A and B are shown apart, each in its own frame.
Chain A
């Protein structure tokens, strides 16, 4: 019905789309297709494969080598959405500036970001890491202990974050959180932030860092930030972990307190 000439006229459009979004196609291939293939072939989950690799290729007790092993695996073998080396440097810098004593991490996943944060903590600080999924939590626990952080420094809590946060003050005797790192489900950023505010766990000057602001993005969270006026916030722009060409950002919030 439609002539071949008109169909040919659409070829430049197709080429443009393919070239412009090539990084997204590559990401899709690595994060979805390769994962499904490897799941079928090996029968292990992705995190278990990562753990096996890290176990064999890193030095126990040395957090740097564990992180390097993770980075190598995620960039060359498969893709896991850790925070990655570039954004990790931004996180390290923020931690060094803030020097928090009580840190909360929402969403440990494999434990990469937990190790990263624990590495940059000052003496006497304590990190509480919340992870919802049992399997991931088991692997994260192993990785954290492999890195040499004991129970004094890092405590892993295996429960959904919206159940834990209300009980932080009562069960764990936390008065104020100096630093919060959010890297769990993007649609939970806003409810968890509001829970933290509600239970008074944030004080003036507390820093909250939220990952993946641009890709996949947390639009409601951003909209809330712009409107509520309780935070001084800015977005650190960087690239998505382990891929070139896809932009991403981390939001850094500093709680100002209710006026």
Chain B
């Protein structure tokens, strides 16, 4: 029975290490102790650690049971010190010893007790209490640090959910949820920026609803402004609110502390993009560091044999599946090895691959044309007036885009069976094709949107003319020519409005996101949940086994979902400048998605038959995200730079270009020398050499990284040669001696 008042319930090696450093002085003991006890203790300190425990029982009378150093002679002190050092060395090296665990734990505990008891004896005299205090504080600090780490880990949202999913489904499905959580973090920051710096200042400090024409629902639309159908389409009161670009006033400074609203709007727009770039590239760099091993093409079967198992699996059915999938992958590897030896029919394979690519191209072209056709039709509807058409016709574009985005990847998957690629290569082709599909759809949508923007700008000229006419008629009506007459008070709702293409763009994006979300959720409910319910409850009265054959439970489609997430984020980046409510909407959507998909995966899906490791594809998804970020900020930047803002709505109304707000701020808010410096810095003569320098730096870094990679490969080869030589040497010495003996 161990005495319980000893504190080392913690097997913390570091603590002992710390104590080594603090071989400080101990204070002279106050309590009287018989010499006899000390002598017994001295004797026991040089013997086995176990017996020291028995003597320690007697020391329960004293606190801490410390040895009085002044009662020991120098040689004994020396011996004690050696013993303590030996015990410390033992503790340090314990991990590497080939003992059974129980023995290790017992030895550890005893050594720690010994060290703790007798180390104080080594310090001399006075500083003992201070030393004890220091030791106690260090221990407490370590404990606090550990608790804080635990608390930080417990604060990570949804960690238990994801771990549970990982144990059931393997690491690739869990990687989707980890990716979702990471996206949620990014969107949280974007939401913070847009909400805190754009929406809230305008709502609190800007002019309230109804004070100026752009903030009021026009008289013509007032009747239906509160209808649910109108609000769902983001018209009515939703349109004339902080959610969209058009509501914002172009007043240069608002509120009592002169918040520069237009500047803030512009900078937040630029800042969201900059932040996103930074985060994505930083994550890519971190992932590149981790995946350093790389794919060796040698020792394929050894790698498979020793590294295929996923130790995070905690569910028997998943383990069975993983086992079956490893077996299948072995079979496939053997087949592949055989097939790579004989390589007949290369022409047939090539022909089939070309055919498959041709079919995919046809499908892509077909889907692109369909979207273009539908968008043209919706523009025709808009010209006719939207009220004459059914709900289906009004939402045709969104529905067609969502449906195509759902069905075409399935078709690509089926066509890729023709190509006969290795599954990982096939997956990359599949992802590339889905990427092309989504991109094509998105850009067709944008081109159609550009047409609508141009239409609105043409309308602007007409409306400007009409407004001048209307104002003239107003002043004529009051019958006074000079400006000293009291201005006519017209209710803001009655003032004729200029068209606002930015709000229209924002609305289109919001509608697209909403319909995409709805389609995803409905597909989830029908394709996964309803299917699972049918399979489960119809199985005992159906002629064939629904679980084993068609339709069976669905599998979780990792790549499709990840791509959907990436493209969704691309749309947010595209539209966030024109609809500041988009990050908020996306945050809500991701939050709901997380819970809904976690539930759906656990409830309706079965683990995949082909279980893929996620680590290789992580950087691939990040690279796609980067490309999407670049491609989605392009249209926004193009519209900002080339198209003049609407004259009647938004924070930049009245300016020639949106980025003029920067110029204005530099001139008015900063001292004169600052704007001079800036104008020098933005001189093309300075900017071009700088760009050239950056290009050269990138080239230099690229070539050094290539040379490091080659050096790595060479080292690997050398290592292989050395081990081979060592093997030969070992073989020769072990058998060589046999030869000599038997010769």
A228 within 8 A of B: no
Q: Looking across the interface, which residue of chain A has its beta carbon closest to that of B404?
A: A9
B363 within 8 A of A: yes
- The answer to whether A6 touches B392, judged by C-beta atoms less than 8 angstroms apart, is yes
- The answer to whether A20 touches B400, judged by C-beta atoms less than 8 angstroms apart, is no
Residues of chain B within 8 A (CB-CB) of A216 are 543-545, 549
Which of B374, B393, B548 has a CB less than 8 Å from the CB of A214?
A: B548
- The answer to whether B545 touches A214, judged by C-beta atoms less than 8 angstroms apart, is yes
CA distance A215 to B400 in the complex (A): 36
Other A-B contacts than A5-B396, A217-B545, 7 sampled, CB-CB below 8 A, are A13-B410, A13-B411, A16-B413, A19-B415, A215-B545, A216-B543, A220-B540
Max count, chain B CB within 10 A of own CB: residue among A8, A24, A220:
A8
A residues 128-168 touching B (CB-CB < 8 Å):
none
B370 within 8 A of A: yes
Interface residues on A, range: 20 to 34
A208 within 8 A of B: no
Which of A2, A15, A19, A213 has a CB less than 8 Å from the CB of B548?
A: A213
CA distance A136 to B474 in the complex (A): 100
B residues 541-565 touching A (CB-CB < 8 Å):
543-550
Flag A233-252 by CB within 8 Å of B: 1 or 0 each: 00000000000000000000
B663 within 8 A of A: no
A218 within 8 A of B: yes
Which of A5, A10, A13 has a CB less than 8 Å from the CB of B374?
A: A5
- The answer to whether A3 touches B550, judged by C-beta atoms less than 8 angstroms apart, is no
B20 within 8 A of A: no
Max count, chain B CB within 10 A of own CB: residue among A5, A20, A24, A214:
A5
B residues 404-441 touching A (CB-CB < 8 Å):
404, 407-408, 410-411, 413-415
- The answer to whether A5 touches B414, judged by C-beta atoms less than 8 angstroms apart, is no
Max count, chain A CB within 10 A of own CB: residue among B399, B544, B550:
B544
A12 within 8 A of B: yes
Residues of chain A within 8 A (CB-CB) of B396 are 3, 5-6
Q: Looking across the interface, which residue of chain A has its beta carbon closest to that of B363?
A: A12
Q: Looking across the interface, which residue of chain B has its beta carbon closest to that of A14?
A: B407
- The answer to whether B411 touches A2, judged by C-beta atoms less than 8 angstroms apart, is no
Q: Which residues of B contact A (CB under 8 A)?
A: 363, 367, 370, 373-374, 377, 390, 392-393, 396, 399-400, 403-404, 407-408, 410-411, 413-415, 539-540, 543-550
- The answer to whether A3 touches B407, judged by C-beta atoms less than 8 angstroms apart, is no
Residues of chain A within 8 A (CB-CB) of B370 are 5, 8-9
Shortest beta-carbon distance from B373 to chain A in Å: 7
Which of A20, A217, A220 has a CB less than 8 Å from the CB of B549?
A: A217
Shortest beta-carbon distance from A32 to chain B in Å: 13
Residues of chain A within 8 A (CB-CB) of B548 are 213-215, 217, 219
CA distance A218 to B413 in the complex (A): 30
Which of A5, A12, A213 has a CB less than 8 Å from the CB of B408?
A: A12
Which of A9, A15, A16, A219 has a CB less than 8 Å from the CB of B539?
A: A219
- The answer to whether B549 touches A215, judged by C-beta atoms less than 8 angstroms apart, is yes
Which of B374, B410, B550 has a CB less than 8 Å from the CB of A16?
A: B410
Residues of chain A within 8 A (CB-CB) of B545 are 214-219, 222
Given contacts A5-B400, A219-B539, contact A10 B407 (CB under 8 A): yes
CA distance A6 to B414 in the complex (A): 22
Q: Looking across the interface, which residue of chain A has its beta carbon closest to that of B543?
A: A216
- The answer to whether B544 touches A5, judged by C-beta atoms less than 8 angstroms apart, is no
A residues 68-117 touching B (CB-CB < 8 Å):
none
Residues of chain B within 8 A (CB-CB) of A217 are 544-549
Which of A2, A15, A215 has a CB less than 8 Å from the CB of B544?
A: A215
A residues 1-58 touching B (CB-CB < 8 Å):
1-3, 5-6, 8-10, 12-13, 15-16, 19-21, 24
CA distance A249 to B399 in the complex (A): 41
Number of A-B pairs whose CB atoms are under 8 Å?
A: 76
- The answer to whether A20 touches B547, judged by C-beta atoms less than 8 angstroms apart, is no
Shortest beta-carbon distance from B561 to chain A in Å: 18
Given contacts A215-B544, A216-B544, contact A5 B549 (CB under 8 A): no
Q: Looking across the interface, which residue of chain B has its beta carbon closest to that of A9?
A: B403
Shortest beta-carbon distance from B191 to chain A in Å: 33
Residues of chain B within 8 A (CB-CB) of A5 are 370, 373-374, 377, 396, 400
Given contacts A5-B374, A6-B400, A8-B370, contact A15 B547 (CB under 8 A): no
CA distance A15 to B367 in the complex (A): 14
- The answer to whether B544 touches A12, judged by C-beta atoms less than 8 angstroms apart, is no
Given contacts A5-B370, A5-B374, A216-B545, contact A15 B411 (CB under 8 A): yes
Residues of chain A within 8 A (CB-CB) of B390 are 1
Residues of chain B within 8 A (CB-CB) of A8 are 370
CA distance A6 to B370 in the complex (A): 9
Q: Looking across the interface, which residue of chain A has its beta carbon closest to that of B374?
A: A5
CA distance A12 to B414 in the complex (A): 11
Shortest beta-carbon distance from A98 to chain B in Å: 24
Q: Looking across the interface, which residue of chain A has its beta carbon closest to that of B403?
A: A9
9 nearest CB pairs, A to B: A217-B545, A216-B544, A9-B403, A12-B407, A16-B410, A13-B407, A214-B548, A12-B411, A217-B548
CA distance A214 to B408 in the complex (A): 29
Which of A3, A6, A10, A219 has a CB less than 8 Å from the CB of B547?
A: A219
Residues of chain A within 8 A (CB-CB) of B544 are 215-217
Can you name 13 A-B residue pairings with CB atoms under 8 Å? A5-B377, A6-B400, A9-B400, A9-B407, A12-B367, A12-B410, A13-B411, A16-B410, A217-B546, A217-B547, A218-B545, A219-B546, A220-B540
CA distance A8 to B374 in the complex (A): 11
CA distance A10 to B403 in the complex (A): 7
CA distance A13 to B544 in the complex (A): 24
CA distance A148 to B297 in the complex (A): 57
CA distance A219 to B415 in the complex (A): 32
Residues of chain B within 8 A (CB-CB) of A21 are 550
Residues of chain B within 8 A (CB-CB) of A9 are 370, 399-400, 403-404, 407
- The answer to whether B403 touches A214, judged by C-beta atoms less than 8 angstroms apart, is no
Residues of chain A within 8 A (CB-CB) of B414 are 15-16, 19-20
Residues of chain A within 8 A (CB-CB) of B373 are 5
Shortest beta-carbon distance from A225 to chain B in Å: 13
CA distance A218 to B392 in the complex (A): 44
Residues of chain A within 8 A (CB-CB) of B403 are 6, 9-10
Residues of chain B within 8 A (CB-CB) of A12 are 363, 367, 404, 407-408, 410-411
Shortest beta-carbon distance from A220 to chain B in Å: 7
Given contacts A5-B396, A217-B549, A219-B548, contact A16 B404 (CB under 8 A): no
Q: Looking across the interface, which residue of chain B has its beta carbon closest to that of A8?
A: B370
CA distance A54 to B415 in the complex (A): 40
CA distance A24 to B551 in the complex (A): 12
- The answer to whether B550 touches A24, judged by C-beta atoms less than 8 angstroms apart, is yes
Q: Looking across the interface, which residue of chain A has its beta carbon closest to that of B413?
A: A16
Max count, chain A CB within 10 A of own CB: residue among B411, B415, B543:
B411
Residues of chain A within 8 A (CB-CB) of B540 are 219-220
Shortest beta-carbon distance from B375 to chain A in Å: 10
CA distance A162 to B411 in the complex (A): 48
Given contacts A21-B550, A216-B543, contact A16 B392 (CB under 8 A): no
Residues of chain A within 8 A (CB-CB) of B413 are 16
Q: Looking across the interface, which residue of chain A has its beta carbon closest to that of B549?
A: A215
A residues 187-224 touching B (CB-CB < 8 Å):
213-220, 222
CA distance A216 to B546 in the complex (A): 9
CA distance A111 to B373 in the complex (A): 61
Q: Looking across the interface, which residue of chain A has its beta carbon closest to that of B405?
A: A9
Residues of chain B within 8 A (CB-CB) of A219 are 539-540, 545-548
